[in-house]
C-alpha cells in the first residue's frame, strides 16, 4: 500500500488500484464514491453510519460536504489509511471511530442498529 499526495489531497493505492481518495477539505472527488456518499446521505434516517472497508476515509469528506454530521464507525483490516485520515481530517472529520477487524467480526456481536451501512470490501 502506498500513500500518494497531490494538490487536492491524498490517494491510498495498492498496485494500480485506488483504494481511497481523501481530499484536504470536505468535498467531492468526482468519482463513483461521490454517488455512494450522496445515496447514504439521502437515504440515512440519521444516527450512526457504518463504513465497512474504511481505507483512508474518503467517504467521510463527501458526507461532511453534504451536511451529514452523523457519527461514523469505520471497520478495516488495516489501519494505515485510518491513521492518514485522522491526521489529515482532524479539523473537519467530526465523530469518527475506526476499528481494526474483519467486517463479519465487527457485525456479528453488534446489537444496535446503524442508520446506514456502506460496504466497500473489495
pLDDT tens per residue, range 23-75: 999 998 888 889 989 999 898 888 899 999 999 999 999 999 999 999 999 99
Percent of the chain whose predicted confidence (pLDDT) is above 90: 57
Quick one: pLDDT at residue 89? 95
Give the pairing of strands 2-5 and 116-119: unpaired
Quick one: pLDDT at residue 71? 94
Average pLDDT, the chain: 90
Quick one: pLDDT at residue 122? 64
CA distances from 57 to 108, 109, 112 (A): 23, 24, 22
**Is 88's pLDDT higher than 80?**
yes
Q: Are 39 and 63 in contact (CB under 8 A)?
A: no
Q: Are 45 and 115 in contact (CB under 8 A)?
A: yes
Q: For residue 27, is it left (φ>0), alpha (ψ between -120 and 50) or beta?
A: left
Q: Which residues contact 112 (CB under 8 A, 6 or more apart)?
A: 48
Give the pairing of strands 116-119 and 96-100: unpaired
Element (H, E) at 120: none
Please tell me which residue, 121 or 65, carries the higher pLDDT value: 65
Amino acid at each position: 500500500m502506498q500513500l500518494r499526495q497531490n494538490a487536492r489531497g491524498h490517494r491510498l493505492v495498492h498496485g494500480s488500484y485506488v483504494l481511497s481518495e481523501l481530499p484536504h477539505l470536505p468535498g467531492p472527488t468526482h468519482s463513483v464514491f461521490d454517488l455512494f456518499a450522496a445515496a447514504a446521505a439521502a437515504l440515512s434516517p440519521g444516527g450512526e453510519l457504518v463504513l465497512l472497508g474504511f481505507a483512508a476515509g474518503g467517504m467521510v469528506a463527501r458526507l461532511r460536504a453534504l451536511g451529514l454530521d452523523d457519527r461514523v464507525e469505520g471497520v478495516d483490516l488495516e489501519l494505515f489509511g485510518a491513521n492518514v485520515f485522522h491526521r489529515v481530517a482532524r479539523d473537519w472529520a467530526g465523530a469518527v471511530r475506526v476499528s481494526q477487524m474483519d467486517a463479519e467480526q465487527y457485525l456479528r456481536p453488534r446489537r444496535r442498529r446503524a442508520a446506514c451501512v456502506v460496504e466497500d470490501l473489495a
